[in-house]
Amino acid sequence: MKRLQLPLSREALASLKAGDEVLLTGVLYTGRDAAHQRLYQALQEGRPLPVDLRGQTIYYVGPAPARPGAVIGPAGPTSSYRMDPYTPALLDAGLVAMIGKGRRSEAVREAVIRTGAVYFLTIGGAAALIADSIRSCQPVCYEDLGTEAVYRLEVKNFYAIVGMDSQGNSLV
């Protein structure tokens, strides 16, 4: 098991191989379909992104509302393929890693190779367990989207598996 500090360095990205198990600690951002569509639209229109994703990791999640006293509600991954139409542009804009579940398109694979990025898998159906690794949750942008807004999460020992390494080798 590799312990990695977020944001991930280029060295760390290059050292990962498909199938490696990792524990991620540091800051990552959330985003699902609606947020990705808005981020993509901003890029297409030449507008700056409302959050600087250069060098960052995005987790495909729309966390459930937190119960009183909790940092976050259940926070399990959503199916990554839904972000595929937007992912190559975000990788070209500097995003270096994604966390989700399931297969990715050939266009995403090509963008991962081109940019040296990594795609992590995490366990679907374990939303409450994953929430235990999240230490803080703050909205960053698109708050009108509710749970699908972009949030800044601080995580400690967030479990993931390298689903696709920077060379395009894939488990899924």
Q: Which domains does the chain have, with CATH numbers?
A: 2-164 (3.20.130.10)
Average pLDDT over residues 69-89: 95
Average pLDDT over residues 27-42: 97
- Note the pLDDT of residue 129: 84
Rounded to the nearest angstrom, the gap between the alpha carbon of residue 33 and the centroid of all alpha carbons in its chain is 12
Confidence grade of residue 47 (pLDDT, cut at 50, 70, 90): very high
**CA distances from residue 72 to 8, 32, 116 in whole angstroms, order as listed:** 23, 16, 31
Among 89, 82, 83, 84, residue whose Cα is nearest residue 105: 84
> Alpha-carbon distance 161 to 165, whole Å?
10
Confidence grade of residue 94 (pLDDT, cut at 50, 70, 90): very high
Q: Report the 10 Å Cβ neighbour count for 148.
A: 20
> Alpha-carbon distance 41 to 149, whole Å?
15
Average pLDDT over residues 109-138: 93
Average pLDDT over residues 116-133: 91
> Alpha-carbon distance 85 to 33, whole Å?
10
> Alpha-carbon distance 38 to 15, whole Å?
32
Residues 6+ apart with CB under 8 A from 113: 166, 167, 168
Residue 10 has pLDDT above 90, yes or no: yes
